[in-house]
């Protein structure tokens, strides 16, 4: 990825996450939101305001805080269920309970689909059993709808053209599927080296994947149902967990990481990283209220 990088890799702030995840760029406020799942924290960073950072407490296993069509009202996905979060008042308004058929799991990946609905995954907290699933929840629904089961660690959730791309980290595979409101229709599986975690997507269909345990990002080109590896970028953290594009021009790549499970983590493990690129990301989806 060196040919698309235009500046040095930066370590942002002093916070080090146990399990940093799900970075989301809010264009309205020019801020980045991400979570520390194990520490039950929401972090928010304003790069244009002297690198101001705020930390809010979250419910157990909050895996994502996402944008909605209402400014400063966010959607939270946690083991307590799905809720709206009034950021200024630090107040939750529950929308639905955690899926009744997902007992014994915790939420993991989550993103807003092009139609404004929430998609999210569940997984075995110990990452040992294939008891995870993918779900869809739209405004007005009484409960999440189960789309696909038998998942180990469901990760990466990106829409490109009329397809959806996701991964099962411990199977070392990406999947390309047809989109549906009622089920995921699997089309193609792609085996990859290492553990694919969260990803960002560019405006030209390039998938940037955080490779857990390999200290790197891997860049792919999506072509219909095919996945073509282009190059990679070394990182100073062992466990990069996800990434997203932010900044006024959506060309700043933000990368989350984790310290969890490392016997001797270096001082950078768990940090939020950033790097300027020639690439352009896509705006984050908004949950339709």
Q: Is 106 annotated as a binding residue?
A: yes
How is residue 227 written in tokens? 């996945």
Instruction: Give Cα 147 to chain centroid, integer Å.
Output: 19
Q: Is 269 annotated as a binding residue?
A: no
Task: Confirm whether residue 197 is marked as ligand binding.
Answer: yes
How many angstroms separate the CA atoms of 5 and 190, rounded? 27
Tokens, residue 169: 């980290």
108 is in an annotated binding site: yes
User: Which entry of 197, 231, 249, 260 is annotated as an active-site residue?
Assistant: 197
Going across the sheet that includes 185-191, the strands are 154-160, 163-168, 173-178, 185-191
Q: Nearest-CA neighbor of 273 among 249, 247, 238, 237?
A: 237
Nearest to 132 by CA among 164, 99, 163: 99
User: Rounded CA gap, 81 and 95, in Å?
Assistant: 8
251 is in an annotated binding site: no
Number of Cβ within a 10 Å radius of residue 70: 13
Token pair, residue 76, equals: 């939270």
CA–CA separation, 5 vs 169, rounded Å? 26
193 catalytic residue (yes or no) = no
Contacts of 213 (CB under 8 A, 6+ apart): 194, 195, 238, 239
**What are the φ and ψ backbone dihedral angles of 141, each rounded to 5 degrees?**
-70, 150
Rg of the chain over Cα atoms, rounded to whole angstroms, equals 17
Instruction: List, as residue ranges, the binding site.
Output: 21, 106, 108, 155, 197
Instruction: List, as residue ranges, the binding site for substrate.
Output: 106, 108
Catalytic residues: 197
């Amino acid at each position: 990825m060196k040919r698309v990088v235009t500046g040095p890799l930066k370590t942002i702030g002093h916070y080090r996450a146990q399990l940093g995840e799900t970075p989301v760029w809010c264009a309205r406020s020019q801020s980045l939101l991400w979570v520390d799942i194990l520490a039950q924290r929401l972090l928010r960073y304003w790069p244009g305001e002297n690198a101001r950072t705020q930390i809010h407490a979250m419910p157990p296993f909050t895996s994502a805080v996402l944008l909605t069509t209402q400014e400063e009202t966010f959607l939270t996905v946690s083991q307590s269920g799905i809720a709206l979060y009034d950021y200024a008042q630090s107040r939750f308004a529950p929308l639905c309970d955690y899926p009744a058929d997902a007992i014994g799991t915790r939420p993991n990946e989550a993103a807003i689909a092009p139609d404004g609905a929430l998609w999210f995954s569940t997984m075995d907290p110990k990452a040992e059993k294939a008891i995870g699933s993918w779900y869809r929840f739209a405004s007005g629904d009484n409960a999440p709808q189960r789309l696909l089961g038998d998942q180990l660690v469901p990760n990466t959730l990106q829409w490109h053209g009329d397809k959806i791309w996701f991964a099962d980290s411990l199977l070392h595979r990406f999947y390309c599927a047809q989109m549906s409101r009622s089920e995921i229709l699997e089309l193609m599986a792609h085996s990859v080296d290492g553990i694919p975690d969260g990803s960002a997507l560019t405006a030209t269909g390039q998938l940037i994947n955080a490779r857990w345990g390999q200290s790197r990002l891997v860049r792919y080109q999506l072509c219909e149902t095919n996945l073509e590896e282009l190059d990679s970028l070394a990182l100073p953290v062992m466990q990069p967990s996800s990434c997203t594009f932010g900044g006024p021009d959506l060309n700043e790549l933000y990368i989350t990481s984790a310290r969890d499970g490392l016997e001797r983590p270096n001082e950078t493990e768990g940090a939020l990283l950033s790097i300027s690129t020639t690439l352009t990301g896509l705006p984050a989806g908004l949950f339709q209220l």
